[in-house]
């Protein structure tokens, strides 16, 4: 069974109790998993190049859902969404525009993180009529992305051998302070790491994005 069709305890733990429902949509020919919920102006949360996909946003979803209708997709190739051959700016733009048409009745605000923020920025520059507002967080830029040397070593290592040890190495890139983050909710943090090991390599995005 393809990995994007699997559901396990780790993802269930990450999403437990969240005020969202999960849907699987055909978005421009790509099977895409989306979390939706909340009331208010639409807000799209776009994760970075991280294996867990939209589940990454789980800790902030309850508060945001109090004031916004949330749309939280798994970008193609991450989380539970089907991969594409290459997620370059054109492919991303076609996919994301189709996603907005399917999920948002009015122009949403877009909050984009990390590497996917680069694609979001380019999308906003070219398709500003589809967005109400853009917020970028921890985004490298809109030009060609040069992956840091440490991550360039860590990501393929995790790809080839998704062990607990290699997961911990990659986690140092995903969190400012992994140990402090774990202290907030050890069970959630362990589920986050387990899900990352299960669904695949973090370099799916960094290796295939043509930003």
pLDDT digits (tens, 9 = 90+) for 170-184: 777 767 788 888 888
- Residues present in the chain in total: 211
Question: How far is residue 85's CA from residue 66's CA, in Å, rounded to a whole number?
Answer: 37
Percentage of the chain beyond pLDDT 70 is: 85
Task: For residue 118, give the nearest of 31, 30, 28, 205 by alpha carbon.
Answer: 205
Block residue for tokens 């429902």: 21
C-alpha Rg value of the chain to the nearest Å: 16
| Mutual angle of helices 114-126 and 89-103, in 10-degree steps | 80
pLDDT digits (tens, 9 = 90+) for 21-60: 999 999 999 999 999 999 999 999 999 888 889 999 999 9
């Amino acid at each position: 069974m393809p990995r994007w069709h699997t559901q396990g305890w780790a993802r269930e733990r990450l999403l437990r109790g969240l005020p969202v429902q999960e849907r699987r949509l055909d978005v421009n020919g790509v099977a895409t998993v989306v979390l939706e919920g909340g009331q208010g102006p639409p807000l799209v949360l776009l994760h970075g190049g991280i294996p867990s996909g939209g589940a990454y946003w789980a800790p902030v979803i309850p508060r945001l859902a109090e004031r916004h209708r949330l749309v939280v997709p798994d970008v193609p190739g991450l989380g539970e969404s089907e991969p594409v051959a290459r997620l370059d700016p054109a492919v991303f733009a076609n996919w994301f525009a189709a996603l907005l048409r399917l999920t948002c009745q009015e122009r949403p605000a877009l909050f984009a993180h990390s590497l996917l923020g680069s694609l979001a920025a380019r999308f906003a520059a070219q398709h500003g009529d589809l967005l109400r507002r853009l917020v970028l967080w921890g985004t490298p830029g809109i030009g060609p992305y040069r992956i840091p040397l440490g991550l360039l070593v860590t990501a393929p290592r995790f790809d080839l051998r998704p062990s607990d040890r290699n997961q911990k190495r990659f986690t140092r890139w995903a969190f400012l302070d992994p140990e402090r983050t774990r202290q907030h909710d050890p069970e959630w943090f362990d589920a986050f790491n387990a899900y990352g090991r299960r669904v695949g390599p973090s370099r799916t995005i960094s290796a295939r994005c043509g930003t």
